């Protein structure tokens, strides 16, 4: 009999559920469309039934110890998803209370980046670290921060929103309703916006001039930069400058041992790491200079969202 935790990664399109053991191995996995059901109650019933299905398939070899959930706008304190922009159900969705009632298991919720940080601490490269930051570079920019060995969740459970710190008060329009947020510059979509800005402001030739705004992806920019495209390379320099400068702020606030980059854009490797490190060091308070590592996440390529969600409960059980 193996003890497992059900890790649930709720995205706008799909919900992925995995059974994760204490070593962080996802031993089985299933997914369902997040918004196929008309009511949130029916959606939760589908989740419970999918977990039951995974247990049945395991044929009596697993025991579920709890349910951990990562979701955008997930509040650890409230145990609820609050006004998630990518879900059709608005207001406060008390997912922890409902799943606890139905399963009698411990249930914990946080946002996806916080879950990634707990996953990094339990199963990744942050084992043994008490102060570190995980930056998730996907469509947006998320951050999960661990200080004194604990996830920084803050007074309302929504701390760690580095993606919505200010780069330029009257800058690019953000999905959150503000302008100039970090994630409008540093993310898969942010670097595409930067390429378009650079294409407009310079006359340099670029293979990206033939691609429409809607078609452009961060992967194309990475490939162009690897081929020496000057606009693509400048876009990485610009992105790294903004990220590195903001990371020097994060270091001044938290004095972390390491900063981990996770997800899409971080796969560009040194193209993003080099300018980020350089600009972080240039803006660093002297006492922190050359003391903070920026490294790729140990969960890159793995099912980090599910592992991180499960880690929330594994951490509570210990």
Residues in the site for its own copies, rule: CB under 8 A?
73, 82-83, 129-131, 145, 147-148, 150, 152-162, 164-166, 169, 176-178, 181, 245, 248-250, 252-257, 282-288, 291
Q: Taking the complex as a whole, how short is the minimal distance between the CB of residue 111 and its own copies, in angstroms?
A: 11
Q: Taking the complex as a whole, how short is the minimal distance between the CB of residue 183 and its own copies, in angstroms?
A: 11
Looking at the Cβ atoms of 100 and 178, the one nearer to its own copies is 178
Q: Taking the complex as a whole, how short is the minimal distance between the CB of residue 90 and its own copies, in angstroms?
A: 13
Looking at the Cβ atoms of 286 and 301, the one nearer to its own copies is 286
The answer to whether 111 and 190 have CB atoms below 8 angstroms apart is no
Q: Taking the complex as a whole, how short is the minimal distance between the CB of residue 228 and its own copies, in angstroms?
A: 27
Looking at the Cβ atoms of 20 and 284, the one nearer to its own copies is 284
Nearest CA to 292 among 303, 284, 300?
284
Q: Taking the complex as a whole, how short is the minimal distance between the CB of residue 3 and its own copies, in angstroms?
A: 27
What is the C-alpha to C-alpha distance for residues 99 and 95, in angstroms, rounded to an integer? 6
Tokens of 86: 């990518």
Beta strands in the chain (DSSP E): 2-10, 14-21, 26-33, 62-70, 74-75, 80-82, 92-93, 107-110, 132-137, 141-147, 150-151, 258-262, 293-296
Which residue reads 């009596």 in tokens?
Answer: 60
The backbone torsions φ and ψ at residue 144, rounded to the nearest 5 degrees and listed phi first, read: -125, 130
Q: Taking the complex as a whole, how short is the minimal distance between the CB of residue 53 and its own copies, in angstroms?
A: 35
Q: Is 73 left (phi over 0), alpha (psi -120 to 50) or beta?
A: left
Looking at the Cβ atoms of 154 and 267, the one nearer to its own copies is 154
Looking at the Cβ atoms of 196 and 254, the one nearer to its own copies is 254
Looking at the Cβ atoms of 50 and 172, the one nearer to its own copies is 172
């Amino acid at each position: 009999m193996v003890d497992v935790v059900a890790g649930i990664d709720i995205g706008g399109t799909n919900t992925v559920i995995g059974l994760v053991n204490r070593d962080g191995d996802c031993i089985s996995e299933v997914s369902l469309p997040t918004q196929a059901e008309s009511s949130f109650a029916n959606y939760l019933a589908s989740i419970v039934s999918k977990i039951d299905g995974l247990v049945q398939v395991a044929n009596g070899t697993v025991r579920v110890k709890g349910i951990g959930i990562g979701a955008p706008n997930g509040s650890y304190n409230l145990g609820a998803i609050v006004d998630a922009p990518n879900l059709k159900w608005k207001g406060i969705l008390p997912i922890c209370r409902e799943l606890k009632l139905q399963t009698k298991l411990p249930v914990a919720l946080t946002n996806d980046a916080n879950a990634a940080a707990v996953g990094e601490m339990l199963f990744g490269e942050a084992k043994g670290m008490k102060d570190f930051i995980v930056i998730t570079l996907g469509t947006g920019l998320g951050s999960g921060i661990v200080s004194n060995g604990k996830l920084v969740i803050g007074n309302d459970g929504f701390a760690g929103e580095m993606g919505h710190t200010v780069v330029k008060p009257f800058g690019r329009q953000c999905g959150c309703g503000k302008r100039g947020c970090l994630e409008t510059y540093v993310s898969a979509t942010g670097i595409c916006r930067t390429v378009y800005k650079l294409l407009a402001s310079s006359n340099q030739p670029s293979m990206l001039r033939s691609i429409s705004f809607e078609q452009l992806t961060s992967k194309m920019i990475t490939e162009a930069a690897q081929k020496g495209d000057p606009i693509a390379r400048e876009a990485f320099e610009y992105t790294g400058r903004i990220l590195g400068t903001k990371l020097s702020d994060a270091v001044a606030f938290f004095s972390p041992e390491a900063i981990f980059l996770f997800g899409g854009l971080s796969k560009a490797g040194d193209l993003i790491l080099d300018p980020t490190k350089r600009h972080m060091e240039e803006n660093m308070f002297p006492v922190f200079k050359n003391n903070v590592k920026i490294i790729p996440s140990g969960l890159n390529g793995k099912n980090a969202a599910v592992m991180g969600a499960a880690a929330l409960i594994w951490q509570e059980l210990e």
